[in-house]
Structure 1
Amino acid sequence: MTEDDRAARFFRDMAANTEKMVKATQLFGQTKDEDVAIGTTPKHLVMRRDKVELFHYEPIAQATAKTPVLLAYGLIGRYTMADLQPDRSLVRSLLSKGLDLWLIDWGQPGRTERWLTIDDYVDDYIDAAVDRISQDTGHDQVTLLGICEGGVFTTCYAALHPEKVKNLVITITPIDFHADVKDKAAHHGFLNIWTRSLDPEDIDNLVDTYGVVPGEFMSSVFSMMTPMRSLTKYNVDLIDIVDDEAKFMNFLRMEKWLADRPHHPGEAAKQWLKDLYQENRLVDGSFMLSGRQVDLKSITAPVLNVFALDDHIIPPDCSRALGTKIGSRDYTEIPLPGGHVGLFVSSKSQGKLSQSIADWLVARDVTAVSET
């Protein structure tokens, strides 16, 4: 290829990219907020306690597993990641498989939630939600479905209140916060390493200053974990998808979810960062909630542990650790391809996650019925 050919090709590519960027700008201008709505699966409010709300999703298929399932996301993000859009929604997919699905939504914490602890979230909010579900459905026990930090909360609840838990399902959940040390993948465990490097006094100063760990602060931390992706998504990635409306809208919905990063309540953040990430108290049995030891051996319900094999935020080994720590004999691990968020929103993973969860729950529901 001659110099003239290369120059001509450069200007053609530049013109094509400019045309796509103009088109993207026009699409942004034409798109309304309601066009990129997330978390749209129909549900109704059952109970409100402070800023925390309990919802019940409307059924869309004949019931299979009868035991109600309570979905709990973490405080670091919003549950809408599990209900991004109709064709990329764990919530809608589980409903289509006949599960009775409930949601606990933590709302948008602010400075007024400064003194809330993980104790409050586990022994107050989750416990109140479980009791209300039991009251409304007539079931003495519920299935807990925890995602990420929400998986830690539900794991703690299953250990402290085993009599109220029929099954425990956790996804992309850290249990051993130091297991990444032995992980051979260079891109796994950045968050663990960064958090362990923090001076505990700096964590205290951050919380004392803001009353929370600001959502914007955590967004910047996650952006640093994939710096090139963060730098190129509005030019390279956007240019690649601007001619595909479905991909363009999915891109916008993901950006909307990422921008909706809530603040993390201060005292709960101290426990999360110092007691768990730094001191690894959950796995060694020294983590205390409401004056009681969270003993993982007290978990007697069947447990399903789903994790992503290429999760750079919660490395697989951090999740796998649960299997050797619990008291239940019914323990199942399902490793799935994908990353931390991709497990829930990627077109490649759609169906695999929900089908695995539904099959596992239905099998145990049928077993329980046959034994009664």
Structure 2
Amino acid sequence: MNVPGLKPVQQAVDAVSHSVSGDLQSLASLKVDPETLKTIQSEYLQRATELWNQALTKPEALTVKDRRFAAPEWSQSPASAFTASMYLLNAQTMQRLADSLAGAEKARERVRFAVQQWSAAMSPSNFLALNPEALKKAVETKGESIQHGIQHLLGDIRQGHLSMTDESVFEVGKNVATTPGTVVYENGFFQLIEYTPITDKVHATPFLFVPPCINKYYILDLQPDNSVVRHLLSEGHRVFMVSWVNPDESLAQATWDDYIEHGVIQAIDVTREISGADQINALGFCVGGTMLGVALATLAAKGRKPVASLTLLTSFLDFSHTGILDIFIDESMVRMREMTLGAESPQGGGLMKGGDLAATFAFLRPNDLVWNYVVGNYLKGEMPPAFDLLYWNSDSTNLPGPYYAWYLRNTYLENNLVKPGAVTVCGEPLDLGRLDMPTFIYGSREDHIVPWESAYASTQVVTGPRTFVLGASGHIAGVINPPAKKKRSHWVTGAKVKQLPTDANAWLASADEQPGSWWTAWADWLRDHAGPMVAAPKQAGSRKYPAIEAAPGRYVLRKA
């Protein structure tokens, strides 16, 4: 029977079936070289025998070099030390076996990831009966630690996510996102904040932040001493910020084009109108950088060049190498999202829940972002310490299904953004080669979400003058690194390098390491594109766009 309304569903089912069949064949074809397997088995048995003999003859000599077992209770108990030692041996052996697999690379990566998840979950530290530190605390507190742990577990079940920090300490607008400002525009997609200048004069060219819509904007304005926004204000810039709405069912059918046209492009136009500037400077962070790049290329196709300079922070333009996230993306996964949440779904859309996205990212680092808190919160009954960055990380955001499905297919799956004309955005064939403005590109060296080599790849996509800077640490901590704290270091292009090489590692080999934050290098670069100093505006907004409410505004307060 041919039912027209079921045709897209049938096509999706066929695509999923074909892809799953291919995945199973790839997994089934994986194998370990017999000689390698023999070596791994032999070394495992030898090491296991050594541990057993040591546990019998010199149990006090058992040492476990892993921070999960760093508490003295682990070394003081021979049984616990032996359990931890055998666990580490088993985990290391499983990882060696996974690394030794021959076959399709994506299938190999999936097995490695599965082994990593199993190893992290099966640590004896995660089980009350096997954790001597948690057991000792239960005895010392006469069971109160267990009672508190159960209370924390029930509280996390009610709030829908694992607590990584004491969330009761923070309130948006009270002690995070506190830089004074005014909401001067809003539509169904975002509010635009204009911040109050803190200098008598400001640069004539205003500055617009485009944060990721997958998170709340205030990662860029956490506390006064680590706020990127406040740092720019202190440098004499007139600063605007996009604050994305946390989507509900009213935006369940919103598309990628909607976010580009009614989000990024509208924010650029309103910023220009309020400031009276022909051009502005703009920054995109993470997915916000991808969206900003697409929006500017779309505007360029229409003959418009409203941005004088572009800054991309830990952003993809070229999705050739996406790191660990690639293991989740294949035709079956994307087609399933299109069928259930995308424009082709029976309801024409849906919401990708923020909690699901947050959990996915947390399990990319399971020991640090999952099991560490399971042990502390539930087994020990401790409240995690207050940490503004982790509070922001827990403040998740939904995404419209059609937007999310389009993004997955055209970036992670097919990498269409860097193929001129492969996709049409807002009625224009996309060509990122039209990004010919001066561009500052930043990557974080330990970033597991946007590998720094992929951030560097943007230097080969944009066509204007390019500056690349590499920071230390990860996706977020590397970005939020104020100069006053004098932490970490950063790398800049070597003095003798006349042209950025195509290969990221070739760039790094000749780069110069500088102490401290990358913010200073960026501030120096931005100053050259910010225009002369003029009197700071006495009030926010304009006659066309008057003040609506004080920052941080209503949109950022909406919970997923």
- Taking structure 1 as reference, are residues 315 and 238 closer, same or farther at Cα in structure 2, changes over 3 Å only? farther
- CA distance in 2 between counterparts of 1:12 and 1:269 reads 42
- CA distance in 1 between counterparts of 2:250 and 2:409 reads 22
Question: What secondary structure does 1:357 align onto?
Answer: helix
RMSD (CA atoms): 3.7
Question: What secondary structure does 1:178 align onto?
Answer: coil
Q: 2:298 aligns with which of 145, 160, 173?
A: 160
**Superimposed CA distance per residue, residues 101-153 of structure 1 (whole angstroms, 9 cap, x where no aligned partner):** 10111111122112222212222222222222212211001111100010011
Aligned pair 1:272/2:388, yes or no? Answer: no
- CA distance in 2 between counterparts of 1:314 and 1:206 reads 27
Please list, as runs of the form range in 1=range in 2, the aligned pairs for 1:189-268 lying within 5 A after superposition: 189-196=323-330, 198-207=332-341, 208=345, 211-229=350-368, 230-233=370-373, 235=375, 248-249=385-386, 251=387, 253-268=388-403
More displaced 10-residue stretch of structure 1: 298-307 or 359-368: 359-368
- CA distance in 1 between counterparts of 2:134 and 2:265 reads 62
Q: 2:282 aligns with which of 132, 135, 144?
A: 144
Please list, as runs of the form range in 1=range in 2, the aligned pairs for 1:65-104 lying within 5 A after superposition: 65-104=203-242
Aligned pair 1:305/2:441, yes or no? Answer: yes
Paired residue type of 1:259: S
Aligned pair 1:352/2:517, yes or no? Answer: yes
Q: Is the 8 A contact 1:113 1:266 kept in 2?
A: no
**Superimposed CA distance per residue, residues 222-271 of structure 1 (whole angstroms, 9 cap, x where no aligned partner):** 121011111103645999xx99xxx933x2x2332122111111111111
Q: 1:6 aligns with which of 49, 73, 76?
A: 76
* Counterpart for residue 177 of structure 1: 319
Paired residue type of 1:211: G
Question: What secondary structure does 2:242 align onto?
Answer: strand
Q: Is the 8 A contact 2:188 2:245 kept in 1?
A: no
- CA distance in 2 between counterparts of 1:12 and 1:112 reads 46
- CA distance in 1 between counterparts of 2:244 and 2:211 reads 8
Question: What secondary structure does 1:272 align onto?
Answer: helix
Where does structure 2 lack aligned partners over 5 or more consecutive residues? 1-57, 61-72, 79-131, 153-164, 490-515, 535-560
- Taking structure 1 as reference, are residues 31 and 160 closer, same or farther at Cα in structure 2, changes over 3 Å only? closer
- CA distance in 2 between counterparts of 1:86 and 1:16 reads 39
- CA distance in 1 between counterparts of 2:452 and 2:133 reads 46
Q: Is the 8 A contact 2:204 2:532 kept in 1?
A: no
Paired residue type of 2:373: K
- Aligned-residue offset at 1:197: 6.2
Question: What secondary structure does 1:225 align onto?
Answer: coil
Where does structure 1 lack aligned partners over 5 or more consecutive residues? 181-188
- Aligned-residue offset at 1:349: 5.6
Q: 2:463 aligns with which of 319, 327, 334?
A: 327
**Superimposed CA distance per residue, residues 168-190 of structure 1 (whole angstroms, 9 cap, x where no aligned partner):** 1110001121224xxxxxxxx11
TM-score normalized by structure 1?
0.82
- CA distance in 2 between counterparts of 1:302 and 1:28 reads 42
Question: What secondary structure does 1:127 align onto?
Answer: helix
Q: Is the 8 A contact 1:64 1:362 kept in 2?
A: no
- Aligned-residue offset at 1:84: 1.8
- Aligned-residue offset at 1:15: 4.8
Paired residue type of 1:233: Y
More displaced 10-residue stretch of structure 1: 41-50 or 90-99: 90-99
- Taking structure 1 as reference, are residues 97 and 107 closer, same or farther at Cα in structure 2, changes over 3 Å only? same
Paired residue type of 1:6: Q
Q: Give 4+ residue runs of structure 1 displaced > 6 Å after superposition.
A: 1-5, 10-13, 16-27
- CA distance in 2 between counterparts of 1:166 and 1:35 reads 31
- Aligned-residue offset at 1:340: 0.5
More displaced 10-residue stretch of structure 1: 298-307 or 352-361: 352-361
- Aligned-residue offset at 1:368: 12
**Superimposed CA distance per residue, residues 294-329 of structure 1 (whole angstroms, 9 cap, x where no aligned partner):** 21121121111111111100111222222122231x
Higher relative contact order (CA 8 A, sep 6+): 1
- Aligned-residue offset at 1:157: 1.8
Q: Is the 8 A contact 1:158 1:168 kept in 2?
A: no
**Superimposed CA distance per residue, residues 184-243 of structure 1 (whole angstroms, 9 cap, x where no aligned partner):** xxxxx111231236533211234147702111110111121011111103645999xx99
* Counterpart for residue 474 of structure 2: 339
Aligned pair 1:42/2:180, yes or no? Answer: yes
Q: Is the 8 A contact 2:297 2:430 kept in 1?
A: yes
- CA distance in 2 between counterparts of 1:29 and 1:57 reads 26
* Counterpart for residue 55 of structure 1: 193
- CA distance in 1 between counterparts of 2:327 and 2:166 reads 38
Q: Is the 8 A contact 2:170 2:176 kept in 1?
A: no
TM-score normalized by structure 2?
0.56
